[in-house]
């Protein structure tokens, strides 16, 4: 009796509406800032990768794919801003709602997949010097990136299936077995694409940091900077992806308990952390600079004013690599991959 009453009350709530318009007004302004900063930043990064850095010659195909994923996220932000300004958590149009979720799932999956691939490559370069690095071989083949994108597409299919109210109804309404399987699969994809890569990332980073601490060749300052580089990916991952996964788990638990008042609060926390996760389109360019000093050189020489250019170019943050840009060739010692 009590459960049925709760279910009835819960079903009467319009879950597409924002529980607190003030919260979503603030979140919409935050996304405006992300868009205003992220669009020119990602366009400039794309310009450098294509016209100045020539990523296909410098074996930076995986980095370029992260840029593409970030750009897909940035172009979705205006629609999210529009919905939040109109007190909607999602679009009431089914096609727009599913397209937005498809793009966000695809961006998240691609960003994580290529970040993890870069971390594994760095792991082999540092911890297993001299051994055959299959990731390094994959970096030479652009077809591998296409395969990764194609493998991500099936994981986004559940977002395109019309089995959920307002794009998200797991634990909310009476579900048929088909609906339950689809919603469960979508939730499983959401969590596994964050938790499993995070475990891999932490393991690789811990081994890299341990290896660099034991390294006797090179300056200690550069080694410390190198450790900061490998940990930067963990920081980006922890800030952008891990918190929203935790909030998602709490939201599902509260929803299954039919605690509507608590759910209204948790929903706001979850949506706020999801907006925070969009910061990866601003933080990822830092990873580009840390991973490849050739990109840093090309970006600084193109966009930075003269009085900052020489100072920034002389600061290699303990990094370095041999890369070719249209402005010339620069060879720097890289403690991370130095044999």
**Does residue 5 lie within any of the structural domains?**
no
Phi, psi at residue 87, to the nearest 5°? 60, 40
For residue 230, the model assigns a pLDDT of 72
Convert the chain into a string of H (helix), E (strand) and C (coil): CHHHHHHHHHHHCCCCECCCHHHHHHHHHHHHHHHHHHHHHHHHHHHHHHHHCCCCCCCCHHHHHHHHHHHHHHHHHHHHHHHHHCCECCCCCHHHHHHHHHHHHHHHHHHHHHHHHHHHHHHHHHHCCCCCCHHHHHHCCHHHHHHHHHHHHHHHHHHHCCCCHHHCCCCCCCCCHHHHHHHHHHHHHHHHHHHHHHHHHHHHHHHHHHHHHHCCCCCHHHHHHHHHHHHHHHHHHHHHCHHHHHHHHHHHHHHHCCCHHHHHHHHHHHHHHHHHHCCHHHHHHHHHHHHCHHHHHHHHHHHCCHHHHHHHHHCCCCCCCCEEECCEEECCCCCCCCC
Nearest CA to 42 out of 219, 278, 317, 305 is that of 278
pLDDT band at 232 (very low <50, low <70, confident <90, very high): confident
How many Cα atoms are found within 13 Å in the side-chain-facing hemisphere of 287?
A: 29
pLDDT band at 329 (very low <50, low <70, confident <90, very high): very low
Number of domains in the chain: 1
Tokens of 8: 């009835």
**Does residue 228 lie within any of the structural domains?**
yes
> What is the domain extent for residue 148?
15-330
For residue 6, the model assigns a pLDDT of 42
**Does residue 10 lie within any of the structural domains?**
no
Q: What is the mean pLDDT of residues 71-80?
A: 90
**Does residue 143 lie within any of the structural domains?**
yes
pLDDT band at 82 (very low <50, low <70, confident <90, very high): very high
* Per-residue model confidence as pLDDT tens digits over 283-301: 888 887 777 778 888 888 8
pLDDT band at 54 (very low <50, low <70, confident <90, very high): confident
**Does residue 178 lie within any of the structural domains?**
yes
Distance CA 242, CA 164 (A): 24
For residue 74, the model assigns a pLDDT of 92
Q: What is the mean pLDDT of residues 298-315?
A: 75
Looking at per-residue pLDDT, the higher value among 328 and 257 belongs to 257
**Does residue 97 lie within any of the structural domains?**
yes
Phi, psi at residue 88, to the nearest 5°? -125, 135
**Do the beta carbons of residue 83 and residue 91 sit within 8 Å?**
yes
Mean pLDDT of all residues in the chain?
Answer: 76
Is pLDDT at 199 greater than 80 in this prediction? yes
pLDDT band at 159 (very low <50, low <70, confident <90, very high): low
**Does residue 338 lie within any of the structural domains?**
no
Looking at per-residue pLDDT, the higher value among 156 and 77 belongs to 77
Q: What is the mean pLDDT of residues 99-113?
A: 84
* Per-residue model confidence as pLDDT tens digits over 160-175: 665 444 555 555 555 5
* Per-residue model confidence as pLDDT tens digits over 6-27: 443 444 455 678 888 899 999 9
Domain CATH number, residue 207: 1.20.1070.10
For residue 331, the model assigns a pLDDT of 39
**Does residue 96 lie within any of the structural domains?**
yes
Q: Point out the least confidently predicted range of 42-51, 55-64, 276-285.
A: 55-64
* Per-residue model confidence as pLDDT tens digits over 241-252: 899 899 988 988
């Amino acid at each position: 009796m009590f459960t049925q009453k709760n279910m009835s009350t819960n079903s009467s709530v319009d879950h597409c509406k924002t529980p607190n318009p003030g919260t979503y007004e603030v979140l919409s302004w935050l996304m405006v800032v992300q868009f205003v900063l992220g669009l020119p930043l990602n366009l400039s990064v794309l310009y450098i990768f294509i016209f100045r850095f020539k990523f296909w010659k410098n074996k930076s195909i995986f980095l370029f794919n992260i840029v593409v994923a970030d750009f897909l996220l940035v172009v979705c932000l205006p629609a999210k801003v529009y919905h939040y300004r109109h007190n909607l958590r999602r679009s009431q149009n089914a096609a727009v709602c599913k397209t937005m979720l498809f793009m966000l799932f695809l961006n998240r999956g691609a960003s994580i997949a290529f970040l993890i691939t870069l971390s594994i490559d760095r792991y082999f370069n540092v911890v297993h010097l001299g051994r055959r690095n299959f990731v390094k071989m994959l970096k030479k083949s652009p077809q591998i990136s296409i395969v990764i994108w194609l493998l991500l597409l099936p994981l986004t299919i559940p977002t395109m299936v019309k089995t959920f109210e307002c794009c998200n109804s797991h634990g909310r309404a009476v579900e048929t077995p088909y609906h339950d399987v689809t919603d469960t699969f979508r939730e499983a994809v959401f969590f596994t694409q964050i938790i499993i890569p995070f475990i891999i990332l932490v393991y690789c980073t811990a081994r890299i940091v341990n290896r660099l601490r034991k390294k006797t060749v090179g300056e200690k300052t550069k080694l410390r900077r190198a450790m900061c580089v490998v940990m930067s990916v963990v920081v980006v991952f922890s800030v952008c992806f891990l918190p929203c996964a935790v909030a998602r788990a709490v939201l599902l638990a509260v929803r299954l308990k039919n605690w509507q008042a608590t759910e209204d609060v948790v929903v706001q926390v979850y949506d706020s952390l999801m907006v925070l996760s969009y910061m990866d389109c601003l933080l990822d360019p830092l990873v580009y600079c840390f991973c490849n000093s050739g990109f840093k050189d090309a970006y600084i020489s193109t966009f930075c004013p003269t009085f900052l250019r020489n100072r920034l170019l002389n600061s290699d943050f303990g990094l370095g690599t041999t890369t070719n840009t249209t402005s010339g060739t620069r060879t720097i010692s890289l403690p991370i991959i130095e044999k």
